[in-house]
Amino acid sequence: MTDFIRQDSLNRITNGDLGCFKELTLAMFSGKWKINILYHLDHDGDYHFNELTRLLPRASHKMITQQLNELREDGLITKHTDKHHSITYTTYSLTPLGKSLIPILDMMYDWGKKRISDLKLDTASFPLSNKNL
Amino acid sequence: MTDFIRQDSLNRITNGDLGCFKELTLAMFSGKWKINILYHLDHDGDYHFNELTRLLPRASHKMITQQLNELREDGLITKHTDKHHSITYTTYSLTPLGKSLIPILDMMYDWGKKRISDLKLDTASFPLSNKNL
DNA sequence: CCGTATCCACACCGATACTG
DNA sequence: CAGTATCGGTGTGGATACGG
């Protein structure tokens, strides 16, 4: 759904019938690996393409490219290329717009962290207790 | 991806190898219609099933059921049934856990609202300007 | 009124191979 | 190093019909 939700939101903006502003924000980072990419670019600074592939070993080559392109289309990151002896290095950086999204990601981090610790303390009410615990 | 990201996150919690706490939070509300459902339950109070279908006319019957079930599994909402003459009325309510998610949704609303107004003011840099503007 | 079940078109994403 | 193109198994979500 990831990309679908994003395209749908973006299309509906152009048509002027976006259901809720929240949907646009969700569309910005709901793609696979996007929150991780945004986090690393904010927390660690700029990254090259191959560095990102090493940071996200479970992400395929193709997906990283795709997610980076979408983040760039949405104005959240920029890309800069540099050539050294026919070898191209690409650097990705957060834009101010991308940085403005970080507080939301930070709140999501805090909520998730608290939720996990609560679940650890209270296994009886674990939402997946009916599955495989 | 919606449900996939959620299942993946939940599975990885049980295995103890969740990549980042943010992923769990995202999994809570990244499903189709979930942020809308959560918003209405918080802002307007409890709702019956058929009221939700009227609030979300573009959502299919099936999806609303599915999303409500997932929200319930995750402990964000509760459901209560009442019978009047063989007619069953179901009421959905936010749990405290669900309410604790609202500040994040509020920030997402504000970000999206500001983003839209910025785009309206500066059409030249509209990210979709190469599509159909 | 409140769901569940089935079918089916379509979107996703990993693997692989190829360009510059 | 930094991508693009294609193929194929899998998951998603709408429509429809049916059961409680």
> What CATH number is given to the structural domain containing A126?
1.10.10.10
Q: Do B72 and B87 fall within a single domain?
A: yes
pLDDT of B90-130, one tens digit each?
999 999 999 999 999 999 999 999 999 998 876 555 554 44
Q: Do A62 and A122 fall within a single domain?
A: yes
Q: Do A18 and A72 fall within a single domain?
A: no
Cβ of residue A23 closer than 8 Å to a chain B Cβ: yes
Q: Do A25 and A36 fall within a single domain?
A: no
Q: How far apart are the first and last CA of chain A?
A: 29
Q: Do A126 and A62 fall within a single domain?
A: yes
Question: How far apart are the C-alpha atoms of A18 and B70, rounded to whole Å?
Answer: 24
Does A66 have pLDDT greater than 90? Answer: yes
Say yes or no for a CB contact (<8 Å) between B1 and A32.
yes
B12 vs A contacts (CB less than 8 Å): none
Question: Structure pTM?
Answer: 0.88
pLDDT of B48-90, one tens digit each?
999 999 999 999 999 999 999 999 999 999 999 998 888 889 9
A contact residues 37-66, partner B, Cβ 8 Å cutoff: 39, 58
Cβ of residue B25 closer than 8 Å to a chain A Cβ: yes
Q: Work out how many domains chain B is built from and give that number.
A: 2
b/e burial code for range A22-61 (CB count within 10 A of at least 16 → b) = bbbbbbbbbbbbbbbbbbbbeeeeebebeebeebbeebee
Does B46 have pLDDT greater than 90? Answer: yes
Q: Do A73 and A114 fall within a single domain?
A: yes
Cβ of residue B36 closer than 8 Å to a chain A Cβ: yes
Task: Identify the pLDDT of residue B13.
Answer: 76
Domain hosting B59: range is: 32-132
Q: Do B41 and B17 fall within a single domain?
A: no
Nearest to B104 by CA among B21, B14, B16: B21
Out of B75, B115, B132, closest to residue A127 by CB = B75
